[in-house]
Amino acid sequence: MTFFSETKQLPPDSLLQLITEFRNDPSPDKIDLGVGVYQDEHGKTPIFEAVELAQRRLQTDEDSKTYLGPLGWPGFADEVRKLVLGEVLEEKLAGRFAVLPTPGGSGALKSAGTLVQRLNPSAKIRLPDPTWANHKPIFLSCDLETVTYAYYDNEATSLDREKMYADLAAAQSGDIIVVHGNCHNPTGEDLSAEDWKFLTDLALEKGIVPFIDIAYQGLGQGFHEDMAHVRSLLESVPEAILCYSFSKNMGLYRERVGAALVMTENADMAERVQSNLNEIARRTYSMPPSYGAALAWYLLSDPDLNASWRKELEQLRKRVVSLRAQVTDALSSEFGDNRFQYITAQNGMFSRLPLTPEQINRFKTESSIYMAGDGRVNMCGFTPAKIARFTENMSSVLK
Ligand SMILES: Cc1ncc(COP(=O)(O)O)c(C=O)c1O
């Protein structure tokens, strides 16, 4: 027996496997609705023009590759806090924040989860059902217990509100409630103003900590609109945790740019939390990658690059909104009813189709139309021609 001889073979990630199956499918008409990234009408995930300009600026400006420490690229952490808070709250709340730049939003979730475990090892992490597939594994890797709360009714294609409120009300002081800031992944169904108010009241009454995962700012209702509920909550509660990802809204996926932000009751607590976050970084990856954070910093702090980025992001958002409307229209005229209206009403790239695993498999094997195993489809996978073929298939599978 050798050291590695007993290593178990783990199953491949189901979405990565889907990508491979799609790649190997020889059909010229194949449609990929399974991907988790933004794609343009040619199936390409483009580099933002503002990012290209920032790359050139960085090439000239950067004169060393020496270590930068746990906060990484100078000024990035402050810019992220300002972005999250917006001008008005920045003045009121900045002093209560600790910010840790991280390798992507995933790194933020891991660092924040580690902090939670350090402060309250028996905290229950309450996750929406369903949620992004990596939430549970990341929190489990922090030695935390996860439980779910009802979120989405797949048959009704809407929030399971009554059950959600009952499940959330069961949370105990010191528990963590994870919510998606906007563009819920995988359903596209977001919390309403009333739901955010319910969460705020719960935090105030019971001492639970809201944990907000923001991965799609600017891809839902609009750049500021997407943060409105988050900001109202921050204004009212004493403490909160936020994880931010720039993968989607700056297209910086592989550069791994994100941040964990912790709002405490006062500046003294924020300083102590900051020292813990810095130490958590030190003992895992030591310090964050700076290349992507520097690019994000240019886009956030330079007025011209900021305007260019926001304009391009808005074009991406509008394309997604338009695809939602086109898919809804096509399905509505095919089925002659309003059952797919929810697709237009939801936010971001993803929606879930109310299909059984067998039906999802039929799409793949009979028509080379690929979607995630839970029926999640990415709107960016559609073009007008693909919508027509998809609609025909929906008809033959569902009617
Ligand atoms: C809800 C949610 N949170 C976090 C992330 C993490 O993104 P990344 O680690 O690539 O920045 C994603 C990515 O798909 C996501 O959908």
Question: Which DSSP string corresponds to 181-244?
Answer: SSS-TTT-PPPPHHHHHHHHHHHHHH--EEEEEE--TTSSS-TTGGGHHHHHHHHH-S-EEEEE
Beta carbon of 104 within 6 Å of any ligand 1 atom: yes
Catalytic residue list contains 153: no
- Establish whether 73 is a catalytic residue: no
Instruction: Indicate the CATH number for domain 67-301.
Output: 3.40.640.10
Cβ–ligand 1 contact at 105 (below 6 Å): yes
Measured in whole angstroms, the distance separating CA 254 from the mean position of its chain's CA atoms is 15
The CATH H-level superfamily of 14-47+306-398 is Aspartate Aminotransferase, domain 1 (3.90.1150.10)
CA of 302 to the centre of ligand 1 (A): 25
* Token pair for 76: 């990035």
**14-47+306-398 against 67-301: fold identical:** no
Distance 37 CA to ligand 1 centre (A): 10
Domain residue extents for the chain: 14-47+306-398, 67-301
Residue given tokens 């599978």 in the structure block: 397
106 lines ligand 1 (CB under 6 A): yes
**Cβ of 247 below 6 Å from ligand 1:** yes
Question: Does 195 participate in catalysis according to the annotation?
Answer: no
- The residue type found at 61 is D
Spot the catalytic one: 77, 98, 171, 215. Answer: 215
Tell me, in angstroms, the distance from the centre of ligand 1 to residue 144's CA. Answer: 19
How far does residue 245's CA lie from ligand 1's centre (Å)?
6
Catalytic residue check, 215: yes
pLDDT in single tens digits along all 399 residues of the chain = 999 999 999 988 888 889 899 999 999 999 999 989 999 999 999 999 999 999 999 999 999 999 999 999 999 999 999 999 999 999 999 999 999 999 999 999 999 999 999 999 999 999 999 999 999 999 999 999 999 999 999 999 999 999 999 999 999 999 999 999 999 999 999 999 999 999 999 999 999 999 999 999 999 999 999 999 999 999 999 999 999 999 999 999 999 999 999 999 999 999 999 999 999 999 999 999 999 999 999 999 999 999 999 999 999 999 999 999 999 999 999 999 999 999 999 999 999 999 999 999 999 999 999 999 999 999 999 999 999 999 999 999 887
Q: Where are the alpha helices (DSSP H) in 283-380?
A: 291-301, 303-335, 342-345, 357-367
